[in-house]
């Protein structure tokens, strides 16, 4: 059965949430709006630059592929700079000029946490004393409120620096104050992928349903990552299906967005390691550890993994060399170690994600299933900041040089996810519950004054050695924000929380209707229903469904739905297709004897392929057939290097001229959309050729501000009229109208600017 990976193609969900920017160089700008109207203007320009899940997922896939084929080296030519944006409650209120909550959010909910903000919640989260908001560098909610957090992430330092300068300038022009800039950077050399204490980080991330490919052998886990459970997408993306028991009563503006927690957590590296040596001595004196135990041995037990990332539960005596070609080991669940003798119950790993190692209240019952904790997972996207510790340095790298973790995580519910992990697990000595003595708090990141170190004595009985740990991680700033969908971003830029402004007109010039438009992946002209009685019919494909619509000739181009939604699989020729990317009619095989042929491009299973199909008209109905099964894009010599074809636009005056038809091919490769020119010859072989290589979308004046075209629909009665052809260009939830002239250069221009697709009554 084909796997539905539809979230990979989302142009609504921001790119860092489920796909992950995964860049070595990151800057967060904490912004304050001085003038809300100008901030909205700034947001209008920023919105098309925000990276979407589709762009980031495509890039990450191309990057991994290139790395695999080069034997593990990072490809130097594939690079990108991504932007992400999130807003605090106050930031959303300023932009939308209204309270984002019509009524007070439910007590105890994540929405309430978002509204109150980090500083108000400090007491419950251990942000007291040195960690308290009055010492924070940002987010303390007093003189300098944070309204937005702009994430800029890049493969190279130079690209990041250029992007940060550009964003700082754009902010300044709109009277937006940068109240704090936080840089973060992957550590280099042998420290790559590690945080400052020296441990590999970012290994145990949850898999996401409809985004990560499930393993054939263990369908609840991610393919190629044994032990990585696939979690319902609604735990990270509002509006997707959540885990049982999770909160679901979100306002409409939150759909396809995610709540973000950003924390600057400083780390005193020499302090933490010298404490480990002291504690090791205490344990040796108490004969609670083997004589051979080292500081590395004890530190690994506090974390739950060795420096390399190797889990202590599998490698109890020593670290194992890191194999760069193997995916890091996440295939364990503590079910065989309920007592915590191998991986201590207080270890950071078990405190933050107990997996299946939680004993049920009645010990005769089996332990909790890991699935029951799906609603407590977070998507971590942090990175280290500051230079790595170098005992020989008095400057950068020295003990007083600031360093730590820029902790960032995404979730649907800040209260049930981040706050619960921090307050009810990390900071709770009685977690895992019901133990005597209690396991104690997390000694890696908190002050843990009563940790119970368990060991087996010579008689085989469990011995308990109490240990106390000082805190060497300090909260220096914290913000709760919301990373909206691309539609909500556009609405905020217009001073609204959702929906469309009044007075817009659709393809058929009719009044907008309430409801959400049906964003189209592709339109396919119904072969025998073109300009018949002044009407043209189209199949409009969206996700796993399609419907039939008609568009009338004439200035109004009135549109209406002819038939409601059906599933793609009702077409014989589309069996196994999860979603159609685009369809190219075979130029010389349109309607001979009532049969028309097409190439159908689809990305079912994450990789784009194409198949040949036919549609035969007769008896008032249509019969489809699969003419040739799926093949890889590599069979097209004109599509070399293309990751995914998004749409074709036939060059209007170059169809079947001298036995050849020409097309502009819009494709996303390396995370952004570009276009090239190809030709396809008539004849059985349909020989194709690359006529001109890739160019940037900016070459099309009529497509200004569009990051990605989803599909084109030729305006039926405006084809080659007076030497011009008109098209509706669908992109995200909007569409515009453009014209392309015949002749050399094919000059293009915008006929009508962006309008919401909800103006198309037939697509509602
Ligand atoms: Fe943690 N560290 O160096 O010890 N973390 N963490 N974390 N953390 C993890 O398995 C660290 C912090 C989680 O699913 C690893 O990916 C440091 C906070 C979760 O098995 C290491 C700081 C919170 C996991 C660290 C810090 C979490 C996790 C192992 C602060 C949440 C996955 C790498 C300076 C409130 C657990 C890995 C699982 C793993 C470290 C903070 C949560 C090495 C230094 C504040 C959920």
What are the sequence ranges of the domains in the chain?
Answer: 6-265+477-493, 267-377+421-474, 522-763
| Position 277 pLDDT exceeds 90 | yes
| Position 2 pLDDT exceeds 80 | no
262 lines ligand 1 (CB under 6 A): no
Dist. CA 351 → ligand 1 center (Å): 9
Atom 13 of ligand 1, nearest CA residue = 352
| Confidence (pLDDT) at 340 | 96
| Position 12 pLDDT exceeds 50 | yes
| Position 215 pLDDT exceeds 80 | yes
Ligand 1 atom with least separation from CA of 404: 34
Radius of gyration of the chain (CA): 29
SS3 per-residue string spanning 46-93 = HHHHCCEHHHHHHHHHHHHHHHHHCCCCCCCCCCCEEEEEEECHHHHH
* Band (515; pLDDT cuts 50, 70, 90): low
| Confidence (pLDDT) at 479 | 98
Give the pLDDT confidence of 673-721 residue by residue, as tens digits: 899 999 999 999 999 999 999 999 989 999 988 888 999 999 999 999 9
Are 493 and 44 in contact by the 8 Å Cβ rule? The answer is yes
Strand ordering across the sheet containing 207-208: 207-208, 225-231, 221-222
| Confidence (pLDDT) at 531 | 93
Give the pLDDT confidence of 234-266 residue by residue, as tens digits: 999 999 999 999 999 999 999 999 999 999 999
Count of positions (residues) in the chain: 764
422 lines ligand 1 (CB under 6 A): yes
For strand 207-208 and strand 148-154, is the pairing parallel, antiparallel, or unpaired?
A: unpaired
* Band (503; pLDDT cuts 50, 70, 90): very low
Q: For residue 486, give Cα distances in angstroms to 39, 255, 545, 732.
A: 17, 10, 22, 8
Positive or negative, the CA dihedral 623, 628, 631, 634 is: negative
* Band (641; pLDDT cuts 50, 70, 90): confident
760 lines ligand 1 (CB under 6 A): no
Q: Which two tokens stand for residue 624?
A: 């489809």
Dist. CA 509 → ligand 1 center (Å): 54
Q: Cα(485)–Cα(487) distance, rounded to whole angstroms?
A: 5
For strand 609-618 and strand 621-632, is the pairing parallel, antiparallel, or unpaired?
A: antiparallel
Positive or negative, the CA dihedral 216, 218, 223, 226 is: negative
352 lines ligand 1 (CB under 6 A): yes
CB neighbour list of residue 634: distance below 8 Å, 6 or more residues apart: 640
Give the pLDDT confidence of 116-131 residue by residue, as tens digits: 999 999 999 999 999 9
| Confidence (pLDDT) at 243 | 92
| Confidence (pLDDT) at 180 | 97
Dist. CA 105 → ligand 1 center (Å): 30
| Position 509 pLDDT exceeds 60 | no
265 lines ligand 1 (CB under 6 A): yes
Comparing CA positions, the residue from 432, 480, 474 lying closest to residue 452 is 432
Dist. CA 378 → ligand 1 center (Å): 11
Q: Cα(402)–Cα(268) distance, rounded to whole angstroms?
A: 9
Dist. CA 348 → ligand 1 center (Å): 6
Atom 33 of ligand 1, nearest CA residue = 201
Are 602 and 624 in contact by the 8 Å Cβ rule? The answer is no
Angle in degrees, CA 492, 505, 535, rounded to 5: 140
199 lines ligand 1 (CB under 6 A): yes
* Band (739; pLDDT cuts 50, 70, 90): very high
| Confidence (pLDDT) at 11 | 92
User: How large is the average pLDDT for residues 660-669?
Assistant: 93
Dist. CA 176 → ligand 1 center (Å): 34
Q: Which two tokens stand for residue 116?
A: 């109150």
203 lines ligand 1 (CB under 6 A): yes
Are 383 and 406 in contact by the 8 Å Cβ rule? The answer is yes
Ligand 1 atom with least separation from CA of 201: 33
444 lines ligand 1 (CB under 6 A): yes
CB neighbour list of residue 285: distance below 8 Å, 6 or more residues apart: none
Ligand 1 atom with least separation from CA of 378: 46
Ligand 1 atom with least separation from CA of 198: 3
Dist. CA 407 → ligand 1 center (Å): 9
Question: What does CATH list as the number for 522-763?
Answer: 2.115.10
Dist. CA 366 → ligand 1 center (Å): 27
Q: Cα(527)–Cα(583) distance, rounded to whole angstroms?
A: 13
Residue 276, Cα to own-chain centre: how many angstroms? 37
Dist. CA 261 → ligand 1 center (Å): 14
Surface-to-core class of residue 526, CB atoms within 10 Å of its CB (0-12 exposed, 13-18 middle, 19+ buried): buried
Weakest-pLDDT range from 361-365, 380-384, 576-580: 361-365
Dist. CA 579 → ligand 1 center (Å): 37
* Band (569; pLDDT cuts 50, 70, 90): confident
272 lines ligand 1 (CB under 6 A): no
Give the pLDDT confidence of 196-209 residue by residue, as tens digits: 999 999 999 999 99
Q: Cα(603)–Cα(304) distance, rounded to whole angstroms?
A: 39
Atom 26 of ligand 1, nearest CA residue = 445
Residue 29, Cα to own-chain centre: how many angstroms? 20
| Confidence (pLDDT) at 516 | 59
| Confidence (pLDDT) at 328 | 87
197 lines ligand 1 (CB under 6 A): yes
| Position 501 pLDDT exceeds 60 | no
| Confidence (pLDDT) at 605 | 67
pTM over 0.75: no
With b for 16 or more beta-carbon neighbours within 10 A and e for fewer, the 720-743 pattern comes to eeeebbbbbbbbbbbbbbbbbbee
Mean pLDDT of the chain: 92
Ligand 1 atom with least separation from CA of 405: 34
Surface-to-core class of residue 637, CB atoms within 10 Å of its CB (0-12 exposed, 13-18 middle, 19+ buried): exposed
418 lines ligand 1 (CB under 6 A): yes
Give the pLDDT confidence of 516-554 residue by residue, as tens digits: 566 788 999 999 999 999 999 999 998 888 999 999 998
Ligand 1 atom with least separation from CA of 409: 31
Using a pLDDT cut of 90, give the percent of the chain over it: 77
| Position 505 pLDDT exceeds 60 | no
User: How large is the average pLDDT for residues 503-527?
Assistant: 59
Dist. CA 440 → ligand 1 center (Å): 17
Pocket-testing residue among 125, 127, 195, 348, ligand 1, by greatest number of atoms within 8 A of Cβ? 348
| Confidence (pLDDT) at 517 | 67
Q: Cα(77)–Cα(63) distance, rounded to whole angstroms?
A: 10
Comparing CA positions, the residue from 117, 120, 86 lying closest to residue 260 is 86
Ligand 1 atom with least separation from CA of 266: 34
**Local structure of 679: helix, strand or coil:** strand
Dist. CA 422 → ligand 1 center (Å): 11
Dist. CA 490 → ligand 1 center (Å): 35
* Band (512; pLDDT cuts 50, 70, 90): very low
Strand ordering across the sheet containing 711-714: 711-714, 724-731, 734-741, 748-756
Q: Cα(162)–Cα(76) distance, rounded to whole angstroms?
A: 18
Atom 46 of ligand 1, nearest CA residue = 352
User: How large is the average pLDDT for residues 410-439?
Assistant: 97
Give the pLDDT confidence of 141-191 residue by residue, as tens digits: 666 899 999 999 999 999 999 999 999 999 999 999 999 999 999 999 999
Using a pLDDT cut of 70, give the percent of the chain over it: 96
Ligand 1 atom with least separation from CA of 267: 34
Pocket-testing residue among 352, 389, 425, 472, ligand 1, by greatest number of atoms within 8 A of Cβ? 352
Q: For residue 112, give Cα distances in angstroms to 116, 484, 678.
A: 6, 17, 54
């Amino acid at each position: 059965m084909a796997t539905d990976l539809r979230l990979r193609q989302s142009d609504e969900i921001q790119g860092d949430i489920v796909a992950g920017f995964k860049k070595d160089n990151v800057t967060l700008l904490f912004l304050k709006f001085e003038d809300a109207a100008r901030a909205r203007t700034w947001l209008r320009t920023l919105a098309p630059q925000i990276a979407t899940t589709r762009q980031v997922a495509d890039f990450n896939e191309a990057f991994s592929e290139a790395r695999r084929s080069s034997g593990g080296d990072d490809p130097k030519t594939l690079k990108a700079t991504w932007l992400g944006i999130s807003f605090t409650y106050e930031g959303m209120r300023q932009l939308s000029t209204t309270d984002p909550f019509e009524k007070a959010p439910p007590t105890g909910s994540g929405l309430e946490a978002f509204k109150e903000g980090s500083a108000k919640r400090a007491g419950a989260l251990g942000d007291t004393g040195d960690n308290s908001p009055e010492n924070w560098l940002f987010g303390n909610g007093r003189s300098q409120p944070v309204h937005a957090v702009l994430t800029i992430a890049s493969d190279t330092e130079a690209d990041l620096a250029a992007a940060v300068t550009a964003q700082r300038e754009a902010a300044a022009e709109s009277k937006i104050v940068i109240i704090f800039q936080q840089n973060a950077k992957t550590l280099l050399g042998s420290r790559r992928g590690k945080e400052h204490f020296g441990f590999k980080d970012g290994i145990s991330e949850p898999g996401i349903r409809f985004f990560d490919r499930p393993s054939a052998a263990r369908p609840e886990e991610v393919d190629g990552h044994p032990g990585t459970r696939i979690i319902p997408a609604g735990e990270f993306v509002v509006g997707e299906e959540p885990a049982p028991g999770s909160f679901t009563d979100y306002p409409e503006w939150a759909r396809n967005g995610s709540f973000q927690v950003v924390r600057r957590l400083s780390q005193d590296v020499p302090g933490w390691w010298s404490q480990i040596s002291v504690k090791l001595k205490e344990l040796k004196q108490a004969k609670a550890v083997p004589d051979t135990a080292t500081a590395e041995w004890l530190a690994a037990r506090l974390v739950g993994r060795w420096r390399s990332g190797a889990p202590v539960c599998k490698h109890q005596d020593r670290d194992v060399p890191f194999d760069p070609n193997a995916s890091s080991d996440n295939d364990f669940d503590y079910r065989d170690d309920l007592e915590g003798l191998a991986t201590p119950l207080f270890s950071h790993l078990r405190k933050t994600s107990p997996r299946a190692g939680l004993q049920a209240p009645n010990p005769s019952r089996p332990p909790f299933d890991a699935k029951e904790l799906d609603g407590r997972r977070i998507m971590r996207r942090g990175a280290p900041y500051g230079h790595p510790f170098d005992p020989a340095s008095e400057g950068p790298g020295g003990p007083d040089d600031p360093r730590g973790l820029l902790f960032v995580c995404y979730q649907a519910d800040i209260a049930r996810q981040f706050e619960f992990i921090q307050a009810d697990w990390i900071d709770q000595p009685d977690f895992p519950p019901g133990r005597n003595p209690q396991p104690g708090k997390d000694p890696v990141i908190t002050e843990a004054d009563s940790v119970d170190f368990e060991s087996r004595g010579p008689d085989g009985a469990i011995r308990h050695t109490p240990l106390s740990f000082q805190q060497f991680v300090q909260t220096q700033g914290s913000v709760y924000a919301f990373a909206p969908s691309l539609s909500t971003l556009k609405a905020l830029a217009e001073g609204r929380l959702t929906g469309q402004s009044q007075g817009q007109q659709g393809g058929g010039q009719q009044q907008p209707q309430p409801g959400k438009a049906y964003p189209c992946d592709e339109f396919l002209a119904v072969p025998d229903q073109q300009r018949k009685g002044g009407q043209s019919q189209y199949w409009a494909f969206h996700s796993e469904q399609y419907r039939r619509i008609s568009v009338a000739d004439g200035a109004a181009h009135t549109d209406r739905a002819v038939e409601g939604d059906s599933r793609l699989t009702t077409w014989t020729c589309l069996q196994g297709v999860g979603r159609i990317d685009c369809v190219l009619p075979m130029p010389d095989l349109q309607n001979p004897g009532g049969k028309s042929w097409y190439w159908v491009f689809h990305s079912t299973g994450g990789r784009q392929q194409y198949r040949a199909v036919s549609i035969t008209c007769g008896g008032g109905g249509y019969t489809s057939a699969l003419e040739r099964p799926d093949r890889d894009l590599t069979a097209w010599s004109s599509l070399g290097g293309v990751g995914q074809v998004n749409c074709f636009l036939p060059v209007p005056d170059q169809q079947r001229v001298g036995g050849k038809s020409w097309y502009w091919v819009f494709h996303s490769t390396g995370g952004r959309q570009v276009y090239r020119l190809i030709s396809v010859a008539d004849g059985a072989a349909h020989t194709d050729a690359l006529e001109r290589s890739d160019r940037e979308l900016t070459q099309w004046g009529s497509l200004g501000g569009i990051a990605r075209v989803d599909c084109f629909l030729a305006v039926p009665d405006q084809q080659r009229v007076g030497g011009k052809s008109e098209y509706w260009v669908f992109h995200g939830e909007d569409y515009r109208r453009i014209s392309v002239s015949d002749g050399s250069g094919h000059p293009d221009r915008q006929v009508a600017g962006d309008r919401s697709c909800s103006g198309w009554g037939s697509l509602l």
